[in-house]
Amino acid sequence: MAKKVLIIEDYPATVEMIIAYLEPQGYAVDFAFDGQSGLDKMAASKPDVVLLDIMMPGMSGLEVCKKMKADPKLAKIPIIVVSAKVTSDDIKAGLSAGADEYLVKPFDMKQLTDTIKKRA
């Protein structure tokens, strides 16, 4: 059965690029353009891994991380932050909020796939 990846990212071009790369490799990919929709989709589909942007309208990726980790049904789903926030404080904040990995945009697609394979 295909591993399920949920992308929570507000920039459609990034979503399209990741889907175009992952689907041919056999991943089942879904997406949400904001944090609340992402949490709703997580609860409904229980993905194997979540790719999460930090800077989004409404609920930030850090808030999504915290809500996931506080929910026993979602807490074990690995979170890979994919963000343009690059300082050591940004990375520390992401990991402290509950992210399992932190990749900086622009990222290498092979690095993304390797990270997904490691976590999913």
Q: Enumerate domains of the chain plus CATH numbers.
A: 1-58+79-104 (3.40.50.2300)
Residue 5: the pLDDT is: 98
- For the stretch 68-99, pLDDT in tens is 999 999 999 999 999 998 889 999 999 999 99
pTM: 0.95
Residue of 105, 101, 106 whose CA lies nearest to 116: 101
Closest CA to 81 of 54, 108, 45, 118: 54
Q: State residue 3's pLDDT score.
A: 95
pLDDT of residue 107: 87
- Output the tens digit of pLDDT for each of the chain's 120 residues: 789 999 999 999 999 999 999 999 999 999 999 999 999 999 999 999 999 999 998 999 999 999 999 999 999 999 999 999 888 999 999 999 999 999 999 889 999 999 999 998
Residues in the chain, overall count = 120
